[in-house]
Structure 1
Amino acid sequence: MADALDDATLSAKLVRGLRRTRVVLADHDPGWAARFEVRAAELRTVLGERARLVEHIGSTSVPGLVAKPIVDIVVGIDDPDDEPAYLPDLEAAGYELRVREPEHRALRAGDPDEPVNLHCYPPDHVEVRRYLAFRDRLRTSETDRELYAATKRELAEREWRDINYYAEAKRPVIDEILARAGWRE
């Protein structure tokens, strides 16, 4: 969600509306990688060739980084706006649509102890490239990993009108880290 957020704009994208939240961070759990592998295999089975890429993203994909204990996955779908081509299969597998915006769908699955966020974008979408570049930078730079962790801890002390405002508040440090990684759109 690259545009500046406000309640009206955000509400138009959220299937279930705004939800007040407090962010709870956990120390890195090596089990997150295994949880990703199980879900990735499931997604490849459910979607077949429609899943052009399946990648573990977000803080749970970075060893040593504190994170919300929610595994984030990005799946490359040729046309996420063509929901009938894939969404019924994901819903049958237990995924619930949460965000609908052009070229992006976000879904949630899993029980409260093992939740998964699934982001569907075209495989070559700029956001996919950003996710992967950011993940890879955090995996290789202890300094940037520590900066990002400190930012997350500071922001987790607040209550948020919606989790997307928390994500937006992290954007300046994400952009700073991506710039050091040589990121260009």
Structure 2
Amino acid sequence: MTDPSPARRRRADVTTTELVGGVERRTIAIAVPDAAWSATFAEHRDRIAAALGPVARSIEHIGSTSVPGLAAKPIIDLLVTVEDITAEEDYLAPLLDAGYVMRVREPGHRLVRTPRLDVHVHILEVGAQAAEDYLILRDRLRRSPEDRALYEGVKRALAARDWPDMNAYADAKTAVIEEIKSRGRGS
């Protein structure tokens, strides 16, 4: 039996999560809102748009830094949607050439980031539920002072704890995120 072509191997979707570089212990620090977050987003939006052209179907600012007035980890999160997440040859090399480094490869999701670890770029397929969920959460937090205060309080309480890595901290926020998204879907 012959191996599939290299292009075919690149297009095959992954079935497990690959955390490039392994688990990283990082300090979780919540910062006061910073007007520079919007400018950093715009800089990376333009950088990604130049690298990907029409392959990037949308580029959105997501996460806490996208919500005015919300304290956050000073990490800018971007959501990039592509037509086919398994077609890494369409987007991964151009992003790596633009200075991002691979961090996560998992079913339906890729994540590249800056070497300084201050920008995370989530790549999802157009129409993916996870992409919609990011926008629902962001938009609800932008509209609801009560949910913004709730989320910030939970983040501050969790940041005060010791975590083996940032993923464990993120997982601990799941319940409140689901609660806020539920209200976002209803409003």
TM over 0.5: yes
The partner residue of 1:177 within 169, 177, 180 is: 180
> Which 10-residue stretch deviates more, 17-26 or 58-67?
17-26
The answer to whether the aligner puts 1:67 opposite 2:89 as a matched pair is: no
Task: For residue 168 of structure 1, report the CA deviation from its aligned partner.
Answer: 0.7
- The letter of the residue matching 1:18 is V
Alignment of 1:26-105 (within 5 A): 26-105=31-110
1:21–1:159 contact (8 Å) kept in structure 2: no
Instruction: Encode CA deviations 1:21-76: one digit per residue, 9 max, x unaligned.
Output: 22011001011011111111111111000000000000000001010101000000
1:73–1:117 contact (8 Å) kept in structure 2: yes
Give the total of aligned pairs: 171
Unaligned runs of 5+ in 1: 1-10
Instruction: Encode CA deviations 1:134-182: one digit per residue, 9 max, x unaligned.
Output: 0000001000000000000000011211211111100100111111222
For the aligned residue pairs, the C-alpha RMSD in angstroms reads 1.4
Unaligned runs of 5+ in 2: 1-15
The separation in 2 between residues aligned to 1:170 and 1:14, in whole angstroms, is: 20
Q: Secondary structure at 1:159's aligned position in 2?
A: coil
The partner residue of 1:21 within 17, 22, 26 is: 26
> Which residue does 2:137 correspond to in 1?
134
TM-score normalised to structure 1 length: 0.88
2:109–2:123 contact (8 Å) kept in structure 1: yes
Percentage identity across aligned positions?
45
